[in-house]
Each structure stands twice: as C-alpha cells, then as structure tokens.
Amino acid sequence: MDQEIGDEMSAIGDKAPSPLETIVALASGAGSAAIAVIRISGGKTREVLDALCGGMPEPRRASLCEIGPPQCSLLDRGLVLWFPGPASFTGEDMAELHVHGSRPVVREIIEAVLSLAGTRLAEPGEFARRAFENGKLDLRQVEGLADLINAETRCQREQALLQTEGFARARYEAWRQSLLRAQALVEAELDFADEGDVGVGSALQAKAIVDALRGELDEPLRGWGERLRDGVRIVIAGPPNAGKSSLLNALARRDVAIVSEEAGTTRDVLEVHLDLGGVPVILTDTAGLREAEGKVEAEGIARALSQLDEADIVLWLVDATAPVWTPPRSANPRKSAQIPAMGRQIRVLNKIDLAQDASFVRDCIKISAKTGQGLDLLIDHLQREAANATEQGAGSPLMTRARHRVELEGARAALKRFGDPSLSPELRAEELRIAARHLGRLTGRIDVEEVLGAIFAEFCIGK
C-alpha cells in the first residue's frame, strides 16, 4: 500500500487492536487499477456482508452484488466471495470483495465496513497471523508466503511455493516424531524404570535414534538456501584496468559503472541485481587490486578485499594482453593487496580482441567485454555455478532464512551434547528437550504434552 492510501486507511481505522474484532484491509496493490480486492475476516464477517450486500451469497461461489450500506447510495457493483470458517485461509469466517480499483471506491467501501461495530483495519500480516494461530499455516509456510509475494525470479517463486505448500513440514514433522520417540525412551527410563514393560535398553535405543537424526540435520545445513532468497554474491575482482567495470556493464546490459582506460578508475563498490537462469544474483564491481597510490584508492582496495571475504563466487579478471593472475605485492605487508580466502573462483581472461594470441592461456574463460565475444559462455557458466550455490534441482525445500539455520544448528548442537557419556540421564533428557524446542520453533509447534503422549502410547503404563 502506498503512502497516500496508507495515510487514508490509518485515518479511517484509528481503533485499538483486539483479536476478537473483525478485520478488513485492501489485499491487492494500491493505486488505480481495474480490480481491487478487499479482504474481511472475523466473527462479524457474516453481519458485514448482510449489511453491505443485503444478504448472504452462496459460499465459495463468486456472486455479483450491489455493495453499499443500508439507506445509503450505491458504492459499487462487484463480485463477492463468502468463505465460512473454518474452511478459509484464516480459519475464520472470511470474505473478499472484488470491486473497481479506484481510490474513492476502495476508501468508501472500507469506511462502510469500519462503520459497523466490532470491525477495524487489519494490522500488517494479520490475516497470515490468524491463519497461523488457527492452524492453517505453520511458520515455514507463513515465511514462504511472504517470500512468494516478494519473489523476483523463477527459482525464488518455485522455492517459495514449496514452502507454502508445506513440503518442508513433512521433513520437520518426521524429525520431530523421531525426537519425540527418543524423548519418550529417555523420560520413561527416568520416571518409570520400575515398570516391567520399560526395557533396560531404552537409553541405547534413544542414542541410535539421536545419531540417525543428527545425520539428517547435517544435510540441509550444508546448503546455501539463504542465497536463493537474498541473492548469490558474485564479485568481479582483479588487477586495475582489466575491464571489470566493462564486464559489469556488459552483464547488466546497461551502463552502471564509469569505464576509462585510466587505471584505478573504480574507487568504490558498485552492485547490480540480476536474474541468472531464475537465480537471483548480486553482481559487484570492485577496485583494482594493487599497491594503493593514495588514500582514496587505498579505501577502495580495502572495500574490494572486504567484498572478496563475503563472495560466493569470484570472477577473477585479467587483461589478455598482460595475463598476470596474482596482484602485485608490496614490501610493506600493510600496503599489500593480499587476496583473502574466496568462495568459488572463476578465472576470466578479458580483452581477447586485443591480444595477439590467447590460446596459450589455459583453465579460464576467454571473453571480450567490449565486443561481447565469449560472454554467452561466461553467462552459462555463471548460471550453473549460481544454481549449484543454491542447490537447485534438489526437489526439496531449502533453508531460505538465517532463522532456519540458527534453529537447526541449535538442535544439532543439543543432540551432540546428548551423546556426551559424562552427562547424567537428567541432563541428557534436558538436551533432547532443547533440541525439540529448536525444531518446534521452525514450524511454530511446541507442545511438551506430546512427550507424555508418546510415552503412554509406547508403553502400557498405568493401565
């Protein structure tokens, strides 16, 4: 919603939030449009439709209705959809009004809804939050929905759809069930050891389950799913005057950087966002690496080295007329353009149109950023590398947020501590509870009562 619409809606709906109130909001894009979608959810949705449409449409069927409050002028004619809860997106009674998208129509219909008691404007993300609280979505699906709305590339869309469709839920649910089984075994050994049907091998069984689960947690932690959401960082680096800025402009297909024959022209970091075969990419041009001739160039080189530290893929570019693959070293180590440890490195030989013979240079991609020669080959190679970096083709949901990685790493660390033979049974049981909380935070499902349920389902205790 743009600022103008947002200000209008804020002025209309200045009410204190209450989870019991029925909420309303513009669900489509702001500004003039052919169609606008106004969404309503909550216990008074039926009353709102009855008041504005003069009756209730058939559930889950688009009905053409005259929209306007009683004893007032007609506001618009549009399609009305009625979704009785709990079979709706939010799990509550819900409706959508598909009306003409002019600002007065949207504003006056929302004003009419808010004129009814027990209604208010929705808070940001409140429809999705109600869906989560009513068990319609887990946290990963909520995050996937946000990613789907903000997707800019094909691969981002595909991965977000996997999240929203709940494919990750099956994997995490299997992990949770394994952990519940291990917890049941450990807790039963602690609390019900005097029962004859609690086997003495419970601890060994729990350890076997935990060892297998640790191996399963390792697999997603090796991936770079966050890069699919945020963008694979590709840094163009190399000595001065190698054509780095020309390559940035050629790959971006527009003039982003100033190009000059004078060495050291680039003094700052320049970034462009690209779509490479459906993978989002952040392409960065950096200052040429050499012994700095002034404070400004020194700062540019320092920033270039910092970018190399964070790069997923480095395009190491050199001039085909003087193919030196390493930067010059200064006698003073503090002034030396030392190359830090880099991610995947692709060696690129530029300006082959000016070189008499570049055939003797091997293990590199040969291009001319000026003429375009070899650029298709380089782009194809970058697409493959970017896809590999984001594990495309794996066919399963990736960890696209840092939160996911933090929780999985926390669960894995707890499971590792569980395997410490020096820990008492009580502390080992606590490590399993910690691991369960980390996994529960991934989907928002944290229920300690499930542990007791698993215990009583596994053993005939208290019969």
CA–CA gap between residue 145 and residue 122 (Å, rounded)? 17
Sheet containing 232-237: which strands, arranged edge to edge?
270-276, 279-285, 232-237, 313-319, 344-350, 365-366
Counting Cα atoms < 13 Å in the Cβ hemisphere of 150 gives 11
In contact, 41 and 94? CB cutoff 8 Å: yes
Locate 192 and state its tokens: 């019900």
DSSP code, position 338: P
CA–CA gap between residue 279 and residue 229 (Å, rounded)? 9
CA–CA gap between residue 129 and residue 192 (Å, rounded)? 40
Strands 270-276 and 33-41 turn out to be: unpaired
Residue 334's nearest CA partner among 370, 296, 291 is 291
Counting Cα atoms < 13 Å in the Cβ hemisphere of 33 gives 14
Strands 313-319 and 344-350 turn out to be: parallel
- Identity of the amino acid at 440: G
What is the reported pLDDT for 227?
A: 62
CA–CA gap between residue 46 and residue 50 (Å, rounded)? 6
Locate 275 and state its tokens: 């779509």
CA–CA gap between residue 456 and residue 463 (Å, rounded)? 10
In contact, 248 and 375? CB cutoff 8 Å: no
What is the reported pLDDT for 444?
A: 64
Strands 365-366 and 94-101 turn out to be: unpaired
Reported pTM: 0.51
CA–CA gap between residue 382 and residue 244 (Å, rounded)? 16
What is the sign of the dihedral through the CA atoms of 414, 415, 420 and 425? positive
In contact, 261 and 351? CB cutoff 8 Å: no
Sheet containing 119-121: which strands, arranged edge to edge?
63-67, 76-83, 94-101, 33-41, 22-26, 119-121
What is the reported pLDDT for 329?
A: 47
Which contacts qualify for 291-296: CB closer than 8 Å, 24 or more apart? 291/328, 291/330, 291/335, 291/336, 291/337, 292/335, 293/264, 296/267
pLDDT digits (tens, 9 = 90+) for 344-368: 788 899 999 888 777 767 788 898 9
What is the reported pLDDT for 334?
A: 39
Taking only the tens of pLDDT, the chain with its 463 residues reads 344 444 444 444 444 444 578 999 998 877 777 899 999 999 999 999 999 998 899 999 999 999 988 667 889 999 999 999 899 999 999 999 999 988 999 999 999 999 999 999 988 888 888 888 888 877 777 777 777 777 766 766 766 666 666 566 677 778 888 888 888 888 777 765 555 555 456 777 888 888 888 888 876 666 555 566 667 888 888 888 888 888 888 888 877 655 545 555 555 678 888 877 777 788 888 876 766 666 766 777 777 777 777 788 888 888 888 777 665 443 333 344 445 445 578 889 999 988 877 776 778 889 898 899 999 998 888 888 877 766 544 444 556 666 777 888 898 899 999 988 888 888 888 998 898 888 877 766 655 444 444 433 443 333 3
What is the reported pLDDT for 48?
A: 94
In contact, 398 and 381? CB cutoff 8 Å: no
In contact, 234 and 317? CB cutoff 8 Å: no
What is the reported pLDDT for 10?
A: 43
What is the reported pLDDT for 152?
A: 66
Q: Is 358 exposed, middle or buried (0-12, 13-18, 19+ CB in 10 A)?
A: middle
CA–CA gap between residue 367 and residue 377 (Å, rounded)? 9
Measured between alpha carbons, how far is residue 286 from residues 117, 308, 311, 319 in Å?
59, 9, 12, 15
What is the reported pLDDT for 297?
A: 64
pLDDT digits (tens, 9 = 90+) for 103-129: 999 999 999 999 999 999 988 888 888
Ramachandran region of residue 307, left (φ > 0), alpha (ψ -120 to 50) or beta?
alpha
For the chain, report the end-to-end CA distance as a whole number of angstroms.
Answer: 59
What is the reported pLDDT for 441?
A: 76
CA–CA gap between residue 217 and residue 73 (Å, rounded)? 61
